[in-house]
Amino acid sequence: MFATPLRQPSSMSQSQKERSEMDGQDKPYQYEITDHGYGKDAVKVLHVSRKGPVHNIQEFEVGTHLKLYSKKDYYQGNNSDIVATDSQKNTVYLLAKKHGIESPEKFALLLAKHFINRYSHVEEAHVHVEAYPWQRVCQEETKAGTNGQATSQGSCNFSSIDNRSLHNHAFIFTPTAQHYSDVVVRRTDPKQTVISGIKGLRVLKTTQSSFVNFVNDEFRSLPDQYDRIFSTVVDCSWEYSDTENVDFSRAWQTVKNIILRNFAGDPQVGVSSPSVQHTLYLSERQVLDVLPQVSVISMTMPNKHYFNFDTKPFQKIAPGDNNEVFIPVDKPHGTIYAQLARKNINAHL
């Protein structure tokens, strides 16, 4: 899914204005195309870096969209300016071969700049990249005992790469969260738009979440929740004001860790959450504190409810209170979101 940056008025050269006016000779005077574009979506590419015995992989799903100065393909059916979507697909593979793949952001920048520099009639290039979450297999996972059975050493923690012995060329799919990026390069704008994001980060904690003292009127049925299960699926995106010397992969991991830390707190003690709103805000604020290159961050946290199963009518079968069995309820759900920006910053989120 492409992010939708704010559309800025185009400042075209005189020749570009003339070309734009000429391609609309046959357009009905009472109508005007106010936005347009085309591209190739869902281009899947796997890149394997084979430098010695240790291999690295990146698997991406890429979308490339172009906006042309001319609209004659729409008004007149004239395709002479169209860079075919099949050619855009080939470009993804050829640039991956020529330059390699490091991160979604860098690959998206490479593609977008290529289209702008290669084709003078392209006004804007928008590239969306989603990374597939592969991690290295622990070498301990592949060790076997004397009887050919796996040993007990295989209980690796795949949420961290610290203090683990990693396999040189075997990987495991770990869909904890998805890393994606949107890059927009406009010929008339010297600064490109670079957006990074986290999608599908599902978390849950069983205590230290409350929700009390909210509006109490004739429409309210929900009692105060002094201790509840807190679960959400975090979607988060942020825009860079400065992309020079940014380690995009490290920055993405930093944002993810900040979200988890504000949600969970210390492993032994935890952290109190008086509302989803407050937890969301603390995460966004810390990202802006820690990453000065980030100008604005947006986050959505839908409530994934777990309601207590009422055992009161079944005291003969299950006597006492119930605080162990819950009913997962996906719909309807509350949705909490906010965007936090540095002051006097124009952003495209």
Catalytic residues: 40, 85, 305
List the structure tokens of 314: 């079944």
Contacts of 93 (CB under 8 A, 6+ apart): 45
Q: How far apart are CA 59 and CA 43, in angstroms?
A: 11
Q: How far apart are CA 339 and CA 193, in angstroms?
A: 17
For tokens 């504190």, the residue is 289
Contacts of 237 (CB under 8 A, 6+ apart): 3, 195, 196, 197, 198, 297, 298, 299, 349
Q: How far apart are the first and last CA of the chain?
A: 14
List the structure tokens of 251: 């920055």
34 CA to centre of own chain: 28
In whole angstroms, how far apart are CA 226 and each of 71, 195, 302, 327?
Answer: 59, 37, 19, 18
